[in-house]
Structure 1
């Protein structure tokens, strides 16, 4: 077999470059996607390589011919059906990994005197540079994918720890499912961009853009009517004159507790609650961001919680919030009235009439 498989027929003598056949096969396995090969086709190639006696594979045409019958190959492949075997052999030929040296009757055999018919494995050796390059590219792509996955996992954790997005938020659910699937780098980048946008918005919310404090220890000047908590809308264009306390909001609006049982400690916490709730209410992001700009971050938080109290009576929450934005733009929005309407009705004699 060694002598016959290396008989050169009808080919000029050329300098021979050889490659380790098993190293080439392992590298090709890493780059299989770029050559449109699957693991079963590679298994057939491995079986063909076992019929070549030397470990070093020559790149000279005709010096690495093997000629097992389909029956012999099938036996070496643990009984692979011959129809399946022929399909995988055809795939190897189309990919240029092996070439056929056919006899007149398409039988595979070798004769002394320079005749050998079967599968020539030398194309595999000649493709070595492309195979190694493709494998290196696949390695770089996989490194990028691994890095993106790690960044998505880290960003998800930061959003959860900061209560910016809850685990059941649609975006968090999508990112969790994607981390469990095999997806390309572009899909991962899109998910990471969406997560990081939420993280950036949180940073913008938490950092005051203007110092209005009367004392160095304060971040904002609040208008208060009670000693219970902070007031609302120091930055909102519509509600600057409103003096709504945070406790008034959390005591009047209770439906949010079904989703987020922990009471917000400050207005930043309340805004995070609103960011979690608005997708569940069927409000798109652009509508919410427009409302946030026109009503203010604190005002839109109050509006979302008040809407949730009456959500069963609101047919189109997105249109409803746009209406509130329009009223705010006209200076007609009354958040205190919304909070009063959202709270429990007080009992009076008329209730029992």
Structure 2
């Protein structure tokens, strides 16, 4: 059992641990936050014991139904997002969410569209979707419209990140790169 330890020099933040084997596929983010954060402006500082940020409570049914995936899988499926993280890398959910905000702006997704995605899907899943959108940016006409559509579908329980993430993981796998 190996854990990667990243310590932030900012005394206001907590020490971040990203467990490698404790995060199971399909685990849901905790829904303990009572307040509503402004995900496009600042990141929530209240992470649970797995380093995950609790989903906001405005749409508990939708965010509870939408499963989050291990960070390692997200980064394997969407390697391009890492370049937009702090210091050009992503090693924690917080860094992925920071990178997603940069990508959101770069792709022309409005702050309100991304904020709504965070409210409906939860901040981890919204960041994961932004990473997926970045990966497929050449095939998407309007990243903002696409995100709004996925958010509407998630709110109705008609969208799951898994199939999108798995398709990208397969297309970005090292085996495919060698054989294709």
- What band does the TM-score fall into relative to the shorter chain? 0.5 to 0.7
The alpha carbon displacement at 1:263 in A equals: 3.1
- The aligned residue for residue 74 of structure 2 is 249
- Corresponding residue number in structure 1 for 2:112: 286
Is the CA contact 1:233–1:239 (under 8 Å) kept in the aligned structure 2?
A: no
Q: Which residue of 2 aligns with 1:343?
A: 169
The residue matched to 1:331 in structure 2 has which SS? coil
1:287 and 1:340 mapped to 2: Cα distance? 24
Match of 1:235?
55
- Indicate if the aligned counterparts of 2:80 and 2:134 stay in contact, CA closer than 8 A: yes
1:267 Cα shift?
Answer: 1.3
**Cα deviations by residue, 1:217-236 (Å, 9 ceiling, x for unpaired):** xx34x5xxxxxxx6x68536
Aligned to 1:201: 42
What is the alpha-carbon distance in structure 2 between the residues aligned to residue 298 and residue 255 of structure 1?
17
Query: Which deviations, in whole Å up to 9, do the C-alpha atoms of 1:194-229 show, x marking residues without a partner?
Result: xxx889633xx1135xxxxxxxxxx34x5xxxxxxx
- Structure 1 residues 303 and 198, CA gap change in structure 2 (3 angstroms): closer
| Correspondence 1:120-199 to 2 at 5 A | none
Map of 1:270-281 to 2, 5 A cutoff? Answer: 270-281=96-107
Q: How does 1:297-336 map to 2 (within 5 A)?
A: 297-336=123-162
Alpha carbons of structure 1 residues 286 and 262: separation in structure 2 relative to 1, 3 Å: same
**Aligned 8 A contact 2:75 2:82 in 1:** no
**Cα 1:240/1:300, change in 2 over 3 Å:** same
- Once the two structures are TM-superposed, the CA of residue 334 in structure 1 deviates from its matched residue by 0.9
Q: Would the alpha carbon gap of residues 198 and 327 (structure 1) be closer, same or farther in structure 2, given more than 3 Å must change?
A: closer
| Structure-2 separation of matches of 1:335 and 1:265 | 20
Larger radius of gyration between Structure 1 and Structure 2 = 1
For these two proteins, the number of residue pairs brought into alignment is 134
Return the structure number with greater helix share.
1
Q: CA deviation at 1:269?
A: 1.5
On the 8 A contact 1:233/1:299 being kept in 2, the answer is no
Superposed CA RMSD: 3.0
Question: Which deviations, in whole Å up to 9, do the C-alpha atoms of 1:217-267 show, x marking residues without a partner?
Answer: xx34x5xxxxxxx6x685364353625111110111111234446432221
Deviations 1:137-166 (A, max 9, x none): xxxxxxxxxxxxxxxxxxxxxxxxx9xxxx
Instruction: Say yes or no: does 1:295 pair with 2:115.
Output: no
Whole-Å separation in 1 of the counterparts to 2:68 and 2:95: 19
- The corresponding residue for 2:27 is none
Q: Unaligned regions of 5+ residues in structure 1, if any?
A: 1-161, 163-196, 209-218, 223-229
Cα distance in structure 2, aligned partners of 1:334 and 1:311: 19
- 8 Å CA contact 1:282–1:317 kept in 2: the answer is yes
1:269-306 Cα offsets, whole Å, 9 max, x none, are 11111111101001111111111111110010000000
Unaligned runs of 5+ in 2: 1-12, 14-37
Contact in 2 for aligned 1:250/1:263 (Cα 8 Å): no
